[in-house]
Amino acid sequence: MVYCGKPSRGCQMCRTRRIKCDETKPTCNQCAKSRRICPGYKDEFDLVFRNETQATEKRARKANKKALAQKYGREAESGESSRSSKSPASSTGMRLIPATPQIPIEDQAACHFVSNFVLVPNQGNARGFMEFLIPLMKMEHIPLHFKFAFDACALASLNNRVGTGNDFEKEALGKYTKALSATFSALRDPDVAKQDATLASVLLLGLFENITARQLGMLAWGSHIEGAIQLAKARGRKQLRTKVGLAMFIGVRTQMIIHSLSTSKTPVMGADWWMHDTVRDERASECQRLNIIIGEFRAEANQLLAMPNRAADHVEKVIDMIRRCQAHDLACANWSKNLPPYFQWKTVSWEDNVPNGDYTKAEVYPGRVDVYQDLWVASVWNMMRCSRIVLASIIVRCAAWISSPVDYRRTPEYATAARICVDTITDIIASVPYQLGWFSKRKDLLKRADFSTFGCGEEDAQKGLGGYFMTWPLACIHGQDYITDSQRIWVQGRLEHVGSQLGVRYAHMLTQLNVRIPSMLIRRDGLLANPYPQAEDFEKLLSAKTARPSAGYTLNPIQQREAMQRETIQRQTAELVSKAMGTSGKIDEWTAKTWLQLQHFTTTTI
């Protein structure tokens, strides 16, 4: 794939006749006047990028043939004896192997990146991913910060390809460093900061972090997404007027949802702001609206369950949170009903083969295998499934807070949540083979719908985008209490496959996280919500706190007890974080606290 410069947009007939096309659609007037059938116009992507491999090889063969003829001409002039020494058979049978065309590394990297991570919508629909990069790459003057960010992702993608070492790791990191510097400079200019290329650069920097991550704790994806959110906010509703602006806004919104659900931060601006006048696909937009509300619920629940107050009005607030979450879960379940045909999935196979009993090597977990219309539809489904799992954890945590010290696993809320999560985990696992390219060798089972296509390359090959889409769902179910041991081992194997075979190295880090949800979050809620036993006689408690210390002590009895309780809770919190970090040494304390939703709390608040 090469960049072909500013192309002619005329129809193929006018281009063949070498006349100026008026580019009228659907049929140009030149063809209509001459009573010819207008073949139509090329796709926007094909106008700028095209596969020149065959043409290049043809030119190489022609050049080699010419060089060969010149060489033989010189040999002929050297004398008849040299010609007679060769047999006719050997001379006629002599073949010169054409040299392999040398394609620049930048072009190879761009093609590899676009063919793996850029999903271009077809047939006028809205189902794509990073499709806004194509028109931005067509700009006559490409901003430097965008070019650096694109090249960094392209080189990183090429570097991660299967069967190679880290050939371009330094080059990719160099481009990334330049992109950071150039983007920072662009952000200091208010006008340049609001340009499409600047927001696209920030999104590309976030993607770079995902496909190159070496240490989860050093991952800067979250900071890039927070920056993209602020840019989308500053750009206002004006950005929605263009196709590129709307596509980037929806891309930021999708990343914001994952960031909110994984860090428990309240979604910026709220659901109404994110959804107003941004509907490209009604079902996908409704899914994202429901997901944003779940992010709001999670942030609100964290605040409620961290309060030491167990007064009647506060308990009623927690009960109301359970009711709202249950009603919202019903709305999420209803979303999946009455969907149009292109959103429906279908079970096409049942597999039970585990090679040598090793679940880490199995491409399919024993059970059903589902197929979807395309990767985009599958990603929307799994986003909803992950959100329902998060919603179930909120309900169970609230039920555990209310029922404490009674075992929360005896509550009806837990029984319902466990059933929903087990079914949802099964659905996610059944979708994994499709997204990770299992059907590329089983095309007889797959009937593709032509909704979207990759920028270049073969459609049925394994794609990095499928692995990128699966990192969040696999990480979500990997840490669930409801998953079986064999399922967890299989999920770890799939994450390793995504990291090593599909070029999304962030997936390697996720396998090292030892979080268990909701049990660890319930433990966290208990540490934060009830640090010290509540006294029934508040007047006595207050008087004891103000009493003077006993002889030989620096603290009075109540203060001593509180200090001991604080020390115990700090130790238990450290033990919980240490357990989440695991023993690999690749997960740092900050990352474990983020997943346990402890990053906003210090030991002084515990």
Q: What is the pLDDT of residue 585?
A: 58
Residue ranges per structural domain of the chain? 2-51, 104-280, 315-528, 552-605
Q: What is the pLDDT of residue 143?
A: 94
CA nearest neighbour of 298 among 476, 488, 428, 420: 476
Q: What is the pLDDT of residue 120?
A: 83
Q: What is the pLDDT of residue 552?
A: 55
Q: Are 57 and 98 in contact (CB under 8 A)?
A: yes
Q: What is the pLDDT of residue 462?
A: 72
For 389, 402, 406, 515, 574, the CA distances from 518, given in Å and listed in that order, are 10, 15, 16, 9, 18
Terminal-residue alpha carbon distance, the chain:
58
- Residue 410 burial by CB count (10 A; 0-12/13-18/19+): exposed, middle or buried? exposed
Backbone angles phi, psi at 7, to 5 degrees: -95, 165
Fold of the 2-51 domain: CD2-Gal4 (4.10.240)
Q: Which parts of 194-242 fold into alpha helices (H)?
A: 196-212, 221-235
For residue 2, give the H/E element and its range: strand 2-3
- Kindly give the parts of the chain with pLDDT less than 50: 1-3, 45, 48-53, 56, 68, 71-72, 74-77, 79-96, 217-218, 448-453, 455, 457, 531-545, 599-606
Burial 419-457 (b: 16+ CB within 10 A, else e): ebbeebbbbbbbbbbbbbbbbeeeeeeeeeeebbbbbbb
Residue 189 per-residue DSSP state: S
Q: What is the pLDDT of residue 444?
A: 66
Q: Are 120 and 452 in contact (CB under 8 A)?
A: yes
For 232, 245, 306, 590, the CA distances from 184, given in Å and listed in that order, are 16, 21, 37, 25
Q: What is the pLDDT of residue 72?
A: 45
Portion of the chain with pLDDT greater than 70, in percent: 70
Q: What is the pLDDT of residue 36?
A: 79
Q: What is the pLDDT of residue 46?
A: 52
**For 562, how many CA atoms within 13 A lie in the half-sphere containing its CB?**
13
Q: What is the pLDDT of residue 500?
A: 87
pTM over 0.85: no
Measured in whole angstroms, the distance separating CA 242 from the mean position of its chain's CA atoms is 24
